[in-house]
Amino acid sequence: MTTTRRGLSLLLVMGLGLVAASCGSDDKEPSGAADGPVTITVGCEPPKSNPKEREAWEADVAAFQKAHPNITVEGKDAFPCINPDTFQAKLAGGTQEDVFYVYYTDVRKIIEKKQAADISQYVGSVKPVNDLRKDVMSVFKDGDQTYGLPRNNYNMGLVYNRKLFTQAGLDPANPPKTWDEVRTAAKKIAALGPGYVGFGEYSAGNTGGWHFAAELYARGGSMVSDDGKTAAFKSDEGKAVLENLKRMRWDDNSMGSKQLLQWEDLMRMMGGGKLGMMVGAPDVVQSVNNDFKGKFDDYGVAAVPESDGKSSLSGGDGYMFNPKASPEKIKAGLLWLEFHELTPGQGQFDYARSKEQGRPVGLPIPDLYGNSAPGNEINSLRKKYATVPVDNFTPYVDAQGNITNKLEPPKAQELYAVLDVAMSAVLTRKDADIDKLLSDAEGKANKILAKNT
Amino acid sequence: MTVTEEWVRRAQSGATDPRSPDDHGALRRAVGRNLTAYGFLCAALICFALFSWYPMIREIVLSFQQNNFVDPGEWVGFDNFRTVVADPAFRSAWLNTAAFSGLALVIGYAVPFVLAVVLNELKHAKAYLRFVVYLPVMLPPAVAVLLFKWFYDPGAGLFNQALDAVHLPALSWLDSTSTALVSLVIVSTWMNLGTGTLIYLAALQSIPGDLYESAELDGAGLLKRVWHVTIPQTKLILLVMLLLQVVATMQVFIEPYLLTGGGPENATVTVAYLMYQYAFNFGDFGGGSALGLMLMIVLLVFSTIYLRVSREEAER
């Protein structure tokens, strides 16, 4: 009797499991006529809690639909635009948008796992693609195949608090250009009183490894060998990154006593006005202003010290296409992206509207086109309608001409997790052995990369 | 005699229709009563099936697959298990989880029991103190954990300020490999203190008072009363709580996730945290599921013991 009951229970569970499993599958939509009605869902619609951005988006959707009456754009709002934690779940549950938003850091993983559609045969119709920076487009390419288009692009710099520079007797118009100058400035800022931190750095939740890569690139180092098969960070440059941090933490005592910081921690400290410097891109200033009670006027951005003629870790975001999207949806999605993300004076580059709405204009991002014609047009529009102090970003902008954008390494998150150990060690342990830390990390990274290749 | 037995009896006695009008009513009532019960049972079964059993089955399937959630999963045998076992963080994660559970037993298991004994002995303000002890349970776990993030701040944090006030040297708390895990256990203990204390208190209050009176007449002090009366009388509930504690603490995730990000130097990476890293940061659901399955098997052992113990208690 008990056996029968158990058997029935098991059958019930299996049956329910199969029903639920079948709910997850999603069939391809039949492709319609070339100009037949098509509806696309698009990620990263501004949420209602950002009324100005939302209003601009809705106006853009109306204008686009008027120009393309057969296309309906259904925005999917979320804040932040993407939570990488839910990406796989949305894909598995069939709720991933047709045109979905991604960070650069996730693009390679998505391409490797075949979780985005190959848009190579359609992308030629997007006129601005030829003017986009080659390094920016390479983020979304695998060989000759294309899997997405960019929306934002920047590279790492040095974000600093101009107000604190003044208070510490430093010149905010002349930010540090060498790591020795960073050390001197950090000591002066830390000396302002308890709670003041000269230079802040991440060391937990994979963010430590991420910033290690940024500082390594800026010194001319590499995370992996050219063929991507072995780790390359156990180098003079890698050692210099850790030694510099160790000196600032323990010899200078200018990095504060609280470590294991993650993304939000430094944002909060920067917004709170007691952090002098950190490695970051201009988007940090935007976040600090929008979400962490900072003010644009108080912050400046320069290039990462000593990065002149070398590389800088690039970052940004863009859009990819659902692997189950029909050709019609892909074509419609590309038209929308061209209109909203890539055309000077329209969509995200409608700076006249942004100024009218009281939104910040003048940050040197996105830098999608470099010095090509659309890039120059965007820059002149940005200057014309600037609402933030553009001079605060001049040191960063001036350095761009001589710095190459460098992409994240393969298996980025896994390598960052490995390097978190080294970063947390030098920041929490005075006797940390840098050579040993890098050797251990190299061994672990090589295993990860071997698995990858 | 049941309704069915009554039918059989009547049928055997030669009655043409064994069901009288009265029996129809009884049958309807019985069916109605059982239908309601089956309705409730179905609702519970559907909830369990959707939110517990199906994810478990899916996890087992995923742990043997390479799956991009677009194409059908590819069966890869034990590859995912081999991958996670070869991960250098795998060993640290299990050692840290075991250490966390061990420390949680020493600190988190003993403290609520002692507190319950003390509360039980108190003559005044019992209800007020019970409320105070239970308060932390009402805080959402994330809020409680973030509160401790401030307490542990090496500079202005409450704990170092307190140490400074009594002229003791400051500690690095979360920032040191030697104190990080203990710091997480303290948070976990504080968050779960109330529930444990209330359960122990209920068990203590069910002990007949005359046992204590006899012990007192025999000249037993507080410690002897606890040792000879309280502990033997609450032995089973203590054992059940011990097993539940092990099962809960081995799944520790929110504390390392919010407080340390697994650092410093992997000192607080736990199995559940590593699972999260695999599934959501590395995009490797196969690896994450393999780890989850391993943890599930270990927990099954403890759960089986728990079931046996609780059955024994019910039969007592």
Q: Amino acid identity, residue A356?
A: E
Q: Is the pLDDT of residue A426 over 70?
A: yes
Residues B90 and B127 placed together within one structural domain of the fold: yes
Q: Write down the pLDDT at residue B22.
A: 64
Q: Write down the pLDDT at residue A371.
A: 85
What is the spatial distance between Cα A206 and Cα A193, in angstroms, rounded to a whole number? Answer: 30
Q: Write down the pLDDT at residue A35.
A: 73
Q: How confident is the model at residue A32 (pLDDT cuts 50, 70, 90)?
A: very low
Residues B228 and B188 placed together within one structural domain of the fold: yes
Q: Is the pLDDT of residue B19 over 70?
A: no
Q: How confident is the model at residue B209 (pLDDT cuts 50, 70, 90)?
A: confident
Helix or strand or coil: residue A117? coil
Q: Write down the pLDDT at residue B24.
A: 73
Chain A nearest CA to B212, separation (Å): 44
What is the spatial distance between Cα A357 and Cα A75, in angstroms, rounded to a whole number? Answer: 21
Angle at CA A327, nearest 5°, toward A324 and A328? 115
Q: Is the pLDDT of residue A2 over 70?
A: no
Residues B280 and B179 placed together within one structural domain of the fold: yes
| A233-256: average pLDDT | 97
Is residue B79 within 8 angstroms of chain A, CB to CB?
Answer: no
Q: Is the pLDDT of residue B21 over 70?
A: no
Q: How confident is the model at residue A235 (pLDDT cuts 50, 70, 90)?
A: very high
Residues 106-145 of A with CB under 8 A from B: 106, 109, 113-115
Q: Write down the pLDDT at residue A325.
A: 95
Whether the predicted interface score ipTM is above 0.85: no
Q: Write down the pLDDT at residue B277.
A: 92
Contacts of residue A194 in chain B, CB cutoff 8 Å?
155-156
Could you tell me which of B267, B246, B255, B257 has the C-alpha nearest to residue B102?
B246
B283, A114 in Cβ contact below 8 A? no
Chain A nearest CA to B136, separation (Å): 25
| A250-267: average pLDDT | 94
Higher per-residue pLDDT: B73 or B272:
B272
B201's CB contacts (< 8 A; 6+ apart) are B116, B119, B120, B130
Q: Write down the pLDDT at residue A401.
A: 80
Contact A425 B89 (CB under 8 A): no
Query: What CATH number is given for A38-154+315-384 in this structure?
Result: 3.40.190.10
Residues B45 and B188 placed together within one structural domain of the fold: no
Q: Is the dihedral of CA B150, B156, B162, B167 positive or negative?
A: positive
Query: Which residue does chain A place closest to B286, by CA atoms?
Result: A88
Residues B54 and B89 placed together within one structural domain of the fold: no
A128, A342 in Cβ contact below 8 A? yes
| A388-415: average pLDDT | 90
- CB-side exposure of A315: number of CA atoms within 13 Å? 17
Q: Write down the pLDDT at residue B10.
A: 52
Q: Is the pLDDT of residue A168 over 90?
A: yes
β-pairing, A275-280 with A197-199? parallel
| B82-104: average pLDDT | 94
| A284-313: average pLDDT | 91
What is the spatial distance between Cα B43 and Cα A301, in angstroms, rounded to a whole number? Answer: 58
| A316-338: average pLDDT | 96
Place domain A157-314+397-452 in its CATH homologous superfamily. Answer: Periplasmic binding protein-like II (3.40.190.10)
Residues B146 and B36 placed together within one structural domain of the fold: no
Residues B180 and B119 placed together within one structural domain of the fold: yes
| Domains contained in chain B, number | 2
Residues of chain A with CATH 3.40.190.10: 38-154+315-384, 157-314+397-452
Residues B172 and B302 placed together within one structural domain of the fold: yes
Residue B146 resides in a domain: yes
Residues of the domain holding B16: 3-62
A42, A74 in Cβ contact below 8 A? yes
Tokens of A444: 């672990």
Residues B52 and B195 placed together within one structural domain of the fold: no
A156, A408 in Cβ contact below 8 A? no
Question: Which of A277-291, A419-433, B25-39 shows the lowest mean pLDDT across its residues?
Answer: B25-39
β-pairing, A148-155 with A145-146? unpaired
Chain A nearest CA to B133, separation (Å): 30
Could you tell me which of A255, A241, A218 has the C-alpha nearest to residue A422?
A241
Q: Write down the pLDDT at residue A400.
A: 85
> Residue A260 is nearest to which of B155, B260, B279, comparing CB atoms?
B260
Q: Write down the pLDDT at residue B35.
A: 86
What mean pLDDT, rounded, does chain B reach? 87
Residues B108 and B250 placed together within one structural domain of the fold: yes
Q: Is the dihedral of CA A43, A44, A48, A53 positive or negative?
A: negative
Could you tell me which of B98, B104, B67, B119 has the C-alpha nearest to residue B288?
B67
Is residue B93 within 8 angstroms of chain A, CB to CB?
Answer: no
> Residue A414 is nearest to which of B154, B263, B282, comparing CB atoms?
B282
In terms of pTM, does the model score above 0.80? yes
Tokens of B229: 């009366």
Residue B92 resides in a domain: yes
Residues B181 and B215 placed together within one structural domain of the fold: yes
| A114-140: average pLDDT | 94
Residue B73 resides in a domain: no
Residues B204 and B142 placed together within one structural domain of the fold: yes
What mean pLDDT, rounded, does chain A reach? 89
CB pairs under 8 A between A and B: 121
Q: Write down the pLDDT at residue A354.
A: 95
Q: Which of B36, B62, B88 is the last residue of a domain?
A: B62
